[in-house]
Chains A and B, each alone.
Chain A
Amino acid sequence: MFEILRKKKTDATVLSDMVNKQRRYDSLVRALHTDIFRYAFWLCGDKHVAEDITQETFLRAWRSLDSLNDDKAAKAWLITILRRENARRFERKQFDYSDVEQEQLEDVFSSSTEDETEQYWLRRQIAKLDIEYREPLLLQLIGGFSGDEIADMLALNRNTVMTRLFRARNQLKDALDTPEVRGQSNG
């Protein structure tokens, strides 16, 4: 009799915990999947791989959702999982992506108008950036993280992060300001 009463109560709590967790996860997915997917894309340069990594990231997030105490830290937390997941991809598959990815950046839109051509060109420039310059820039522009937060996430010191951001912008700005290079790369 007691057993039955107790069991019922536990089941109910477990169930409501599950519902809460599910709700939490739902909102996490809806709020952050765009940023996570974009970050993944700019990390690996391939839409399908980015989707795979995003899937893995969110699945891992689900499994350890209980360890996420602070909802504000969710984005940083997800990006940490994502970066680990991306690194794992290189452990799993021995062949080298890095030669391909920068040059064969996927054409994700049709470049019909002047504006879009410009954007396409800019995208290629971003993809051409070394990953060590690209990543802090992504964290700043997509993630909206401050220099300190980026330093934390990449395990670098703040000065290094600021230097990399400087170089990243500098390279992009140079590329934008030098029309000949631009002509070449548009081919």
Chain B
Amino acid sequence: MDDLQFRRQAYGDPNNQSHDFLQHMANHPDDAKLVKDLKSLDNQLTQALNIPVPEDLAEKLLLRQQLNQHQQTQKRTRYLMAMAASIAFIVGVSFSMLRFTPIDLSEHALAHVYHETKALQIEQDIGFNDVNFKLANMSGLQQSKFIQQPGRVFYTAYCDFQGVKSLHLVMQDENGQKVTLFIVPAEERLKLDSVFADAKYKGQGFQSADAYMLLVGEQHSDLNYVKREIEQTFI
């Protein structure tokens, strides 16, 4: 290690512990003295750098952090409250929108027939008392009933017209063609068409005392016959 390099290292870090550095010091007493001087300079410097720290600084730092933390928690709570409130609001609004949107019964009736194909395949023979029992369970239709058997009833089940519980029946016309009947409790938002049809099915809608009736049958079935039958037996 030459002298210049040694001096650079000594000034850079007098506490250098590398072998070369220590070796050089052992061989050159003058340089060893230089390092000693530098170390004592470092001592002086360190003492000078050690300015007094405010006694309560640590406490202040912790306090500041605690306050900050507290504020943030509060902000977050407020934010969460606001979020909850707006979500509740949206839910409320969309729920009431949903409730008051008009429902097109004929469209739903057709969709329902397509959807529940098994209804047209089941070959039960259900008495009108069973049907009446089901009717009695429906809100708004407690008073309605069949007074006698309206022809053969093949199938009966509850179904759902956009949140309105209604009754799904499968009956037959005079030629034995199956006709689907929906009995829907009358509600203001329901929209009833008296005649409707699509490529496969045709339908009729009419109103009885408390309910909307929807008949859906194939193109050549005689809906008027079924309609008359129901008007005679259903009060």
Contacts and interface: CB of A to CB of B under 8 A. Distances in A.
Whether chains A and B associate is yes
B166 to A, nearest CB: 34
The secondary-structure label for the interface of chain B is helix
Nearest to A65: B65
Contacts of A140: 13
Interface string A65-86: 0000000000000000000000
A138 B8 contact: no
A170 B11 contact: yes
A137 to B, nearest CB: 8
B65 A126 contact: no
A142 B65 contact: no
A166 B65 contact: no
A147 B14 CA distance: 12
Interface in B55-69: 57-58, 60-62, 64-65, 68-69
Contact of B49 (A38, A51, A54): A38
Contacts of B50: 38
Interface in A35-65: 37-38, 41-42, 47, 51, 54-55, 58-59, 62
A141 B42 contact: yes
Interface string A21-41: 000011001100110011001
Contact of A33 (B38, B47, B58): B58
Interface residues of B, number: 31
Nearest to A127: B48
A176 interface: yes
Given A165-B11, A176-B41, A29 B48 contact: no
Contacts of B38: 169, 173
Contacts of B62: 25-26, 29
A156 interface: no
The secondary-structure label for the interface of chain A is helix
B54 interface: yes
B52 interface: yes
Contacts of B37: 173
Interface residues on A, range: 35 or more
Given A38-B50, A147-B12, A165-B11, A55 B64 contact: yes
Contacts of B46: 141
A33 B12 contact: no
Interface string A93-131: 000000000000000110000000011001100100000
A166 B11 CA distance: 5
A33 B62 CA distance: 11
Given A29-B65, A141-B49, 12 more contacts: A29-B62, A34-B57, A37-B54, A38-B53, A41-B51, A51-B60, A54-B61, A59-B64, A108-B52, A119-B47, A123-B48, A173-B37
30 contacts: A30-B58, A33-B57, A33-B58, A37-B57, A38-B49, A38-B50, A41-B51, A54-B61, A55-B60, A58-B64, A58-B65, A59-B65, A62-B65, A108-B51, A108-B52, A122-B44, A122-B48, A123-B48, A123-B51, A141-B42, A146-B13, A147-B13, A165-B12, A166-B8, A169-B11, A169-B14, A169-B38, A169-B41, A173-B38, A176-B44
